[in-house]
Amino acid sequence: GQQLNQSPQSMFIQEGEDVSMNCTSSSIFNTWLWYKQDPGEGPVLLIALYKAGELTSNGRLTAQFGITRKDSFLNISASIPSDVGIYFCAGQTMGAQKLVFGQGTRLTINP
């Protein structure tokens, strides 16, 4: 079945640093989504991307829909303690209601 490879699996950074993570697939997706999960809670949608090449920002977060439609990137600028959590990418193909989720990137920030 479809799989998303998300990397890195974990990141340990200092407060104030920028963060980059990505997601790749062997399949083409028509929608890419990025979620964040805080401890003890469900994932929350951060950014949705609908067009190849699209670059979308949400505050300090910026995500891009890869030109090949097989990858997506998420950047966080000037990280703060509340950015700690697990970030998931998810892809959706045309006509499919199911989302395919990556395995997540666990972000830890040292103050």
Return the DSSP state at 3.
-
Which listed range, 16-24, 55-63, 65-73, 102-110, lies at the site for other proteins (CB under 8 A)? Answer: 102-110
Q: How far is the CB of 100 from other proteins (least distance, A)?
A: 9
Contact 53, 71 (CB under 8 A): no
Q: How far is the CB of 84 from other proteins (least distance, A)?
A: 17
3-class secondary structure, 54: coil
Apex CA 22: angle with CA 30 and CA 4, to 5°? Answer: 55
- The yes or no reply on residue 85 touching other proteins (CB under 8 A) is no
Report CA-CA distances (Å) from 76 to 17, 36, 83.
9, 12, 9
CA 109, CA 111: separation in Å to the nearest integer?
Answer: 6
- Kindly tell me which of 49 and 109 has the beta carbon lying closer to other proteins: 49
Which of 13, 52, 84, 99 touches other proteins (CB under 8 A)? Answer: 99
- Sites for other proteins among residues 9-48 (CB under 8 A): 30-31, 33, 40-45, 48
Binding-site ranges for other proteins (CB under 8 A): 30-31, 33, 40-45, 48, 50, 88, 90, 92, 97-99, 101-104
